[in-house]
Each structure stands twice: as structure tokens, then as C-alpha cells.
Structure 1
Amino acid sequence: MTNRSRSSSAEGELRLPRPPGLLRRYWARHPRFADILIAAVCLIISSVPFIAVSVLPDDIGPRSGDGRGVLPTLGVVVALGCLALLVRRRHPLLVLATSYVVALAYLFAPAPLSGPLLLVATYTVAVYVSSRAALIGVGIGMAVLAGTGVILSSAGVISTTLLWGALVNEGVNAVIGGLIGANVGSRARYVAALIDHSERLVVERDQQAQLAASAERERIAREIHDVVAHSLTVMVALAEGVAAAGDAERSRPGVEAIAATGREALRDMRATLGILRDSDTAPLAPLARDTTADTVSSARAAGFDTRLVVSGDPGDLDSRTRLAVSRIVQEGVTNVLRHASAATRIDVAISYDASGVAVSVTDDGLPAAADGESAGFGLRGLRERVGLAGGTVTAGPRQPHGWSVAAHLPRQEYSA
């Protein structure tokens, strides 16, 4: 079982080619020198048959001795064809066509002649264009060469022996050059595909890192907003109550509530900042606690008639949903303390059932001109948090007066 899984994973991975050797690295750094050297070697090899034909007796070839008169012209054509190799990287198809022109010129030689020009040209097309282009080009070129040779042979211009020799020689050169070029070209295209794939992976990795950082910033902003906005709102409301009270004994509970709220806010802020400092800490784990009762107590301490009604059994509700419930209650109560005028009562209802949990926070006040919907980050962050938990949230005025925040969160699959 283990060996099978290892083999399947190995097949799915990209196999890297061997790094290029010293000679290949040198050719890659000096392409112009490589082309000059190839053209020179091709010219030297092609010149050997001309020298041999010119020094051998007249009666060794299939044509008469007067065929030697075409050797200078043929030599010029072959030399120009070899010089065309200098532009083989930029114009590979033009070089291939030139090589077949030289092959046609060989038909007029006094003896069967051939050179490596077609081999190099076919190799170049297979490497720098495609194996399919090389195959098509060789097919067309050999068809033209054979057709022209048959016409010349039928007219008695060349012998059948010279025709068959030219077709065999050029065919072998084309096959050898095409096979080598297909192998080298496939490897080059595979390496290029690997490089392109790795570049795309780097881009995707950077994009994912940016998205993750953005999501983390938004999550931290929500946490800091929930902690700071609620705590400061409660502390301001309590401080106003203490300032309005003329008796020190009557103001003592309010002062103690302010101190307790400040300590609670500091604890939550330390937990949030601890997430930023410690990369091994699970995100939001220190804050995944039920603060609903504390929120209701703070509202009562601020002078609001706050009622909490909980129905149903939460059961194995996951920590993310529990945290969302607490933040919904916190945000709803904070909006009442900050924006509702003439509010005296806050009703908080939490209902658990098999499908999930429903939360509502209502008040009997008059919403301000700039309602909680547009006043700040609170409701927007609340919608994002509820959306992450797979739920929905609505907020708006209710009849005849007051404001309502209602949300429904589905039960999540609990995974240990």
C-alpha cells in the first residue's frame, strides 16, 4: 500500500531534467559563435566531395566528363546554403527551404554528391519550431526533390543511379536530423514549460500570501473593534452616570464597573496581540469564549433594563459559532448604547435548535439620524463574521420604534 502510494505520487510530480553540461552551457552563452562553427564545419564537409570529384578520372561517374563544368556553380550554391546556417535560429524554415534548393542542385553534379546541410536544417526546424513542422517540411521537400528528379531522369538530363543516390543520401540526413532535433527540441520545450510553471506557482504563492495577510488584517480589525468599541462605550456610559451622581456611595458601583470593564478590555486586547506575537497560537483561540452574560451585565450597569432570554440546548456548538453569537450580542448592545436615543430597555434573545442558533437584540429607543448601519465598522464586521460562520444577519428599525439586529447561524460539523 505504501509503495503504491509512493509510486503514484512520484508519477504526479514533475521530473526535472539533468542540468546542462559545460559544453552545452558554453554554446548557450555564445550562440553566434556556435552558428559560425556549424556553418564552417558544414562547408568543410560539403567541400570534400567536390574535391574528390575534381581529382578522380572522368569515367567514374554516371555522367560524362563535361559534367565537371557545373562544379564551380554548384560550389557557389552549396557555399551560400552553408552560409544560410548563420540565420538558422531566426529563420529556420528559410534555411530548410535553402537546403532543399542545394539538394536539387546536387542532381546536376557529375557524380552522386551530398552534404550535412539538410541534416542541420531539419534539426534546426525540429528544435526551434516543432517536430510537426520538421516532419511536414521534410515531407514537402522530399516530394519536390523526388518529383524534380523523376522529371530530369525521364528527360535524360540525369541518370537513375544519381537520382536514387541523392534521394537516399538526403533522406538519411533528414531522418537523422529530425530525430535528433525532435529529442533536443522536446527537452528544451519541457524545460521552458517547467520554468513557466514555476513562475506561475511563485505568482500564485505571492497572491495567496497577500490574500491570507489581508484576511488576517480584517479578522484582527474585527476583534480589536469588538473589544475596544464595546468596552469604551460601556465605560463612557458608566462614567456619565457616575458624573451625574452627586453621592460618592451611589457612584461607587459605577466606578467599580468601569474598572472591571477596563480590566476585561485589557485582557481581550492582550489576547488579541498575543495572537500577533506568537505564530504557534491558534487564531482567535484565546477569545473564543462566551461573553454574552458580561455584555448584558455591562448594559445593566449602564442603567438599561436589559433582559436575556436563552431557549434550547446549545449542545456541541463549535467555538467559532459561539464566538459569533457573543459578538452579535456585543455589537447589538453597543449600538444601542452609542446610537439609540431615549432607549430604556434592551432585549436579547438566543434560541438554539437542531438547525442552528438564532440571535436577536432589540431596543425601544429612537435611532439617530446616522444609524448603526452607516455609523462605522461594527455592522460591516459583524456581517463578515457571520458570513464566515455560514449565517445571515439583518439590521434595521422596527415598528413602532426601536432598532433590531437579528442573525441566524447554522450548526457546523464539529471536528476534533
Structure 2
Amino acid sequence: MRAEGGETRLSEDLRLPKPPGFIRSYFNRFPWVLDSLIAAGYVVPMGAVSLVAFVASLFGASPFTDDPIRSTPVWGLLMLYTTAAVTVGLLFRRHVPFVTATICAAAMLVSAPVTNQIDAVPMMFALYALAVYRSARAAWLWTLIASAVGIASTVLSDPFDLASIVGYGLLMTMLMTIATLVGITFGNRRRYIQALLDRAQQLARERDQQAQLAAAAERARIAREMHDIVAHSLTVIVALSDGAEASIERSPETAKEAVRQTGITARRALTDVRRSLGVLTEPDGRGGGAAPIAPQPGLADLPELIASFRAAGLPVRFTTSGEPPADLPLQVTVFRVVQEALTNALRYAVQVTAVDVVLRYVGTPGGGSAVSIEVTDDGVDPGRGASSAGSGRGLIGMRERVAVYGGTVSAGPAGSRGWRVNATLPSTPHDPGGPR
């Protein structure tokens, strides 16, 4: 009951229109039925009057007026054609309201003074259609025209009867004004409902687009994470395995240590993969209990990361300066950039004697931290003779991560020997609502 009351209050606050009843719903679904009824309501009495006038005009008489012009067959035939034209105009008033209004105004002049009261009715429907299906400005303009035509028809009937002219003119003006006001009211309601429907459709489209963008962003994030985990771990495992194979006879202890490091790296990678897949498949993010939740790697994990590369045979020298930032997402970005740069050096650099990792932290008055990352190796012809071909996803991932902070990444040869990766993250505090 409380929920129903809340929905009622919400509807009242939003000023939502009442849904149409059965009759309105039926005529909304079948508008031709209503238009046919209106046309029939006009053509039955007016058709009878026009037929009587036509038959009487064949004998040179008119049962409605003493005017000799209206006692000719031409005028009787014109009455029949006018009645037919108004009937067709009423049938198509929704589609051509201007044409319908013109026909109805002309009919008021033709039928004067015989059926002015009857021909005022289709003119009112024409004004209603103008207000609903075109605009209020057009309806008011034709209200003035219809009132003027009504007065002119009275003047044509009896130009010396001032009382009839004034009285009929006021009556026509009042009737046309009422029809226009009713049309404007229903037209505004119709446009309001249509605006609500259009807005709802627009919101639905925007919701679907946002969902698609969010899904694409999430897929890109997952791809970056899986690339960082798999590429780094497999690269280290391959290097350790090659080192163990090469030293198994010459230095069994070194080979044994390499195999041990291979197992450690493989188990760590397996745990990370299970954790990532568990986040995707389990609501609680625990992957069914297969791998416990652990925080993302940060700056405190860099020594362990560098140690794993050293164990794989990469001579890494690590240097830092300044106060590390406390922003955890920024730390993850720094960690992943260093990880990717070292992975590329291990995979592609040939005859490496030194790899320098330099991190510079610069605090800012606003509480942010500007970070500069530089990873340089002295390998000969980097990338040539590597055992695996790269897909370029690693550099793309680095650029996307750094772009979150408005930073830049550059990668290229370091002179005639070596390769340098340089990333700069400006001192812009991380936006929690931004992409991860």
C-alpha cells in the first residue's frame, strides 16, 4: 500500500497525463471511424437540404429564398458540389486542415443565407483540426477569417439588416473562438504526450548507448588486465625456462633456482587470472572461493616485480626520487606501465647489459602528484630477433591508462643503441567517477 501511494505521489509530482479511456483509445486507434461519423453527421442534413434546393431549382424556384439567382439550376448544382467538398474535407481534416478550412469558408458563402448555421459546424471542426495538427497561430488566423466570412455571408443575405449582421457576427466569433480554444487545449495535451514519448525513447536510446559504451570500456579494461598478467608472466616464465635449460649442466643450482622462480611466477599468474575471471562470473567477486580478493598492485610491489625480472636475467637498476603518491589508482597505473616496459625489454631487447627504471614523483599544492616514468635499455636493435611477435596491445594499454590522467606516453629508440619508454602523468587528482 505504501508503494502504491508512493507511485501515486510520484505521478502527481511529475504531472503525468491521465491515460485515455476506452472510447478515446478506440478512436485513437481508428481515427477514420470518428472522421466518418463527423462527415456523416454533416452530409445527412446538408445533403437533404442541397438535394431539395437542386430539385426546386430545376423548376425555377427556391424553397429557402426569394433571390432569383438562387432559383437557377446552377446554384442548386453548386450546393450539391459544395456539400460533397465539405464532406470530403471533413474526412481528411487531420491530414489537410488548411484545405478543409478553405473549403468550409467557401461553403459558408455559397450556402448563405440558407444553411449558415449548419455550415458553421464544419468550420469549427476545421479550426479544431488546425489547432491540434498544425499550430495555435494558424488556428487563430483562421478564426478571424471564419468570423469575417460569417459576417460577409450575412451581409450578402441581407445587407440592410444591421441587427442580424451584428448578432450573427458575434455568434460566429464566439463559436469559432470556442472551437479554437478547445483545439488548442487538446493540441497542447497531444504535443505534451508526444514530447513525453519522444523523451522516453531518447532516454531509452541513451541508456542502451551508455550500456554499450560501459560494456566496451569494461571489455577494454579486462583486456588490459589480462594482457598485463599473461604477457608479463609468460615472458618471465619463458626467460626462466630458457635460462634453466642453458645452465642445467653447467650450473645445476642456478637451473634449480630458475625452475623454482618459474613455478612461483606461474602460480602467481594463475591466481591473478582466477581472480580476474572470478570478478566476471561471481557477484561477490570471489570466483566461487577459488581465489581470495587481493588489492591491485601498487608502488610497494615494484621491488618484487623488478626482482622477478632480475631472476629472469634482465639487469634492472631501479631509482626513485620524491614522495610517492598516495592515490591507489595512480599507483596501479605506474606499476602497470613499468611492468609493460620491462616485459617488452625482456621479450624484444637483444644483448642487454643494463635496464634503468627511473621514477620521479613531484608533489603539487593541490594535493596531486606528477609522476615521470622512464624505462631505458641498451639492447642492440630492439625488437629484432625476438622469439615472439608483439601485437601492440601493450603500448595501447599504457596509453589508455595514462590518458585517464591526461598524461602522455612515448616509446622509441634511444639513440643508436637501446630503447626508451617515457610516460608523464600530470598533477591532476584522480576522478573516482572516471574510467579505470
TM-score (norm 1): 0.83
* CA apart distance, 1:158: 6.2
Contact kept, 8 Å, 2:408 with 2:423, in 1: the verdict is yes
Segments of structure 1 that go 5 or more residues without pairing to the other structure are 1-8, 54-61
Aligned equivalent of 1:136, options 141, 146, 149: 141
Q: 1:39 Cα shift?
A: 1.7
Q: Partners in 2 of 1:49 and 1:169 — Cα distance?
A: 23
Match for residue 409 of structure 2?
A: 393
- Give 2:30's aligned residue: 30
Structure of greater relative contact order (alpha carbons < 8 Å, 6+ residues apart): 1
Find the aligned partners of 1:359 and 1:121 in 2 and give their Cα distance: 76
Letter in 2 for 1:297: A
Q: Is the 8 A contact 1:373 1:395 kept in 2?
A: no
1:337 lines up with 2:337 in the alignment: no
Are 2:265 and 1:265 equivalent residues in the alignment? no
Distance 2:404 2:385 in 1: 27
Deviation at 1:392, TM superposition (A): 1.7
Q: Aligned in 2, Cα 1:307/1:392: closer, same or farther, shift over 3 Å?
A: same
In structure 1, what is the Cα distance between the partners aligned to 2:321 and 2:402?
A: 20
Amino acid at match of 2:419: W
- The equivalent residue for 2:59 is none
Are the structure 2 counterparts of residues 379 and 318 from structure 1 closer, same or farther at C-alpha, using a change threshold of 3 Å?
same
TM-superposition CA deviations, 1:203-257 (whole Å, max 9, x none) = 1111111111111111111111111111111111111110001143231111111
Deviation readout 1:281-308 (Å, 9 max, x if unpaired): 59x9742434321221112112222111
Q: How many residues align?
A: 397
When residues 11 and 397 of structure 1 are mapped into structure 2, their CA distance, relative to the original with a 3 A threshold, is: farther
Task: Name the amino acid aligned to 1:309.
Answer: T
Q: Secondary structure at the match of 2:363?
A: coil
Evaluate the alpha carbon distance shift between residue 228 and residue 201 of structure 1 in structure 2; reply closer, same or farther with a 3 A threshold: same
What residue in structure 2 maps to residue 368 of structure 1? 383
1:382 corresponds to which of 390, 398, 404: 398
Report the Cα distance in structure 2 between the residues aligned to 1:176 and 1:38, rounded to whole angstroms.
Answer: 18
> Which amino acid in the other structure matches residue 24 of structure 2?
R
Instruction: Report the alpha carbon displacement of residue 15 of structure 1 after superposing the two structures with TM.
Output: 3.3
Choose from 57, 79, 89 the match for 1:84: 89
> Given residue 387 of structure 1, which amino acid in structure 2 is its aligned partner?
A
The one-letter code matched in structure 2 to 1:76 is L
Secondary structure at the counterpart of residue 396 of structure 1: strand
CA deviations over 1:350-407 (Å, ceiling 9, x no partner): 1212142211111111213499997521111111111113322211111241111111
**In 2: Cα distance, 1:158 partner to 1:45 partner:** 29
Kindly tell me: are residues 187 and 108 of structure 1, through their superposed partners in 2, closer, same or farther at Cα, counting changes over 3 Å?
same
Question: What percentage of aligned pairs have identical amino acids?
Answer: 38
Query: 1:200-211 maps to which residues of 2 (within 5 A)?
Result: 200-211=202-213
Aligned residue identity for 2:421? V
Contact 2:233 2:269 in 1 (8 A): yes
- Given that 1:107 and 1:158 are in contact with CA atoms closer than 8 Å, whether structure 2 keeps it comes out as no
Residue 331 of structure 2 aligns to which amino acid in structure 1?
A: R
Q: Is the 8 A contact 1:235 1:262 kept in 2?
A: yes
* CA pair 73-146 structure 1, distance change in 2 beyond 3 A: same
| Distance across 1 between alignment mates of 2:427 and 2:389 | 27
1:38-117 matches, within 5 Å, as 38-43=38-43, 69=71, 76=80, 79-80=83-84, 81-109=86-114, 115-117=120-122
CA distance in 1, matches of 2:30, 2:391: 67
> What is the alpha-carbon distance in structure 1 between the residues aligned to residue 276 and residue 126 of structure 2?
68
Other structure's SS at 1:309 match? strand
